[in-house]
Every structure is written in structure tokens, then in C-alpha cells.
Amino acid sequence: MLYQLSYSRLGVGAGKSTQHSADTKHLGGVTFEFYWWGIRVAGEDDHTRWCYPGTGIAYEDIVQLLGRESLVVSPHSSSMKVLIFGASGATGRQLVQQALDQQYSVTAFVRNPDKLKLKHTNLRVVQGDVLEPETVEKAVPGHDAVLLALGVRKNQSGDTTLSDGTQHILECMQRYGVRRLICESSLGVGSSKNEASFVFSKIIAPLFLKHIMADKERQEALIQHSNLDWTIVRPAGLTNSKASGGYKVALSFANAKIKGRISRADVAQFMLQQLTTDAFVGRAVGISY
């Protein structure tokens, strides 16, 4: 696994900083200090290592260097406010529950509040429909990040729920300066067209999901053309098993052996992890066991 730590945050591209006032990021007891000439990686045990632009930082290298079994993403600021679209759906409910467990302040955007059988002091439920822009507009302001787990069940010609709904969300995010977006899409969309299982790509998608997949293509394109800090998460076949944490993520599964399935709980876990890292900002990433 590669932690691609962004240099743009330092303003290297913008030519901002040539001084020693580094941008600092903490991941599970490991401190990453970003300088214009490289990244200093320092552990609690005072081991340090320098990594230079263009090389990326291999996760295994850092683990070995610091003598750790694994790196744990650091706890986020619990004051972070996240807005979840599709919160009443199967992945959405996982997102809501796990976000609350992680002490986020959560707004659940739902068509029908009765479907979300959850009460919590950090949970606010907003009723709306992504196809009604005024309801989206009321929900977006004041959040730090938006998570999308929208889905449609009927494969209907001309259905643009995902793309139109996402367009409304993107416009509001831009208008109100909410920059971080993490969207659940599907393996088989965009650059992952040939990465889903044979049965899915050759039978299920063309015969039963043609219109939904076409709208997902439009949805991804809109997100990718936005200037937001987006991450698209493309799961393999979804299951309702418990979170295991033992999944693979990759920008391409073209040469990887995957099982072609992943639990919604693990997808939600990975999506929430993206709130504390910019490793996959501007990327579409596949996830599967």
C-alpha cells in the first residue's frame, strides 16, 4: 500500500513556501512533516526517514522503519461535521452508525426519516430529495465533508437520479465552500470497466443494470470534473457481512486477484477513513476482498 502524501498542500506548485514552516500530518503516532524538498517521517521512537518528491512513501517501509505491525490512522477532530446522502440505504446506515461511533457530528439526508431507526445526540436528520435542489441547498452549508451512498433500485431508461442528484450536491458544495467529497460508485464504472467479475461485466451489468451503470458513468464524470477534493470509492459486489478491515484497495485491480465482493460495513469504514487522509484525493479507488 502506498501512502501518496500530497505536496500541493505545502504550496510547492503554487510556489508559496521555501521556508522551514512545514505542514504537519499525524497518522497513528507517526508524524509526517512536509517541506518543499521532501517529507520527514518521524515515529515516537525518534526514528526518522526522509522521502523525496515523486517517490511516494511505501507503507511497508514506514512500518519496518518504525518497527510497528501496522499504522493506525489517527483520530480525527471530533468536531468535524459530515453530511451523508443515501443515509437510509444499506451502506448509508453503516456510514451513519460508524461515523457516530467515531464521534463525528452527523447529518443524515433522507427521503423518509422513519427508515433511519437511529437516535443519537450527534445525529441530525434532514428530510429531502436529491432531485429537489432546494432541499439539498438547505442541508449542505456548515459541513466539513460530504459522503454519498446514493443508489437506485430500478434499472429504468432515462433515469438520471444519481447524476442529477450529484450535480445538485456539487453545486451546493461549491457555493458553500464545502470541499471534501467521498462518493460510493461501483467497480465496473469508468477506468475500472474491465475489473469487475466476468459474470458482472458480461451478464449482470449489460442485461440488468445498463441504465444504472450509464448514470453512474455520468455521476463519476461530474465529480471528476468538479474542482472539489473528491474521492470515488468503487466497491465490488456488496454484502451485509461485518467489517473485517481485511480488504484490498487499489487504483486498478487489472492485475490483482480479488474475490469480487466486499461488505458494506468495510466500504463505510474505508470511506470514513478518507476523511482523515488525502491519500486518495482526486482518485477513483477500487475496494474488494
Ligand X SMILES: NC(=O)c1ccc[n+]([C@@H]2O[C@H](COP(=O)([O-])OP(=O)(O)OC[C@H]3O[C@@H](n4cnc5c(N)ncnc54)[C@H](OP(=O)(O)O)[C@@H]3O)[C@@H](O)[C@H]2O)c1
User: Which residue type is seen at 28?
Assistant: G
**DSSP 8-state secondary structure symbol assigned to residue 194:** T
Among 165, 167, 268, 277, indicate the residue that binds ligand X (CB under 6 A).
165
Q: How far apart are CA 278 and CA 76, in angstroms?
A: 13
- Name the minimum Å distance from CB 278 to ligand X: 23
Shortest distance, position 241 Cβ to ligand X, whole Å: 12
φ, ψ dihedrals at 169, nearest 5°:
-65, -45
Based on the shown chain and the rule CB under 6 A, indicate whether residue 238 belongs to the binding site for ligand X.
yes
Is residue 148 within 8 A of residue 85, CB to CB? The reply is yes
Dihedrals phi, psi of 7, to nearest 5 degrees: -85, -20
- Total binding residues toward ligand X, as defined by CB under 6 A: 25
- 131 touching ligand X, by CB under 6 A: yes
* Site membership for ligand X, residue 243 (CB under 6 A): no
151 binds ligand X (CB under 6 A): yes
Q: Which residue is nearest to ligand X (CB)?
A: 89
Contact range with ligand X by CB under 6 A, out of 5-13, 29-37, 109-117, 166-174: 109-117
CA angle, residues 232, 80, 88, in degrees to nearest 5: 60
DSSP 39: E
Q: Is 64 buried (19+), middle (13-18) or exposed (0-12) by CB count in 10 A?
A: exposed
Residue 260 interacts with ligand X (CB under 6 A): yes or no = no
3-state SS track over 248-262: EEECCCCCCCCCCEE
- Is there binding between residue 86 and ligand X (CB under 6 A)? yes
Nearer to ligand X, 72 or 131 (CB): 131
Min dist. Cβ of residue 92 to ligand X (A): 5
| CB of 26 vs ligand X, minimal distance in Å | 31
Nearest one of 114, 119, 84 to 99, comparing CA atoms: 84
Nearer to ligand X among residue 261 and residue 283 (C-beta): 261
By CB under 6 A, name the one of 23, 33, 129, 217 that touches ligand X. 129
Tell me the CB-side half-sphere exposure of residue 219, using CA atoms within 13 A.
Answer: 33
Window of 9-17, 18-26, 66-74, 107-115 that interacts with ligand X by CB under 6 A: 107-115
Phi, psi of 52, deg, nearest 5: -115, 155
Footprint of ligand X on this chain (CB under 6 A)?
86, 88-92, 111-112, 115, 129-131, 149-153, 161, 165, 184, 186, 235, 237-238, 264
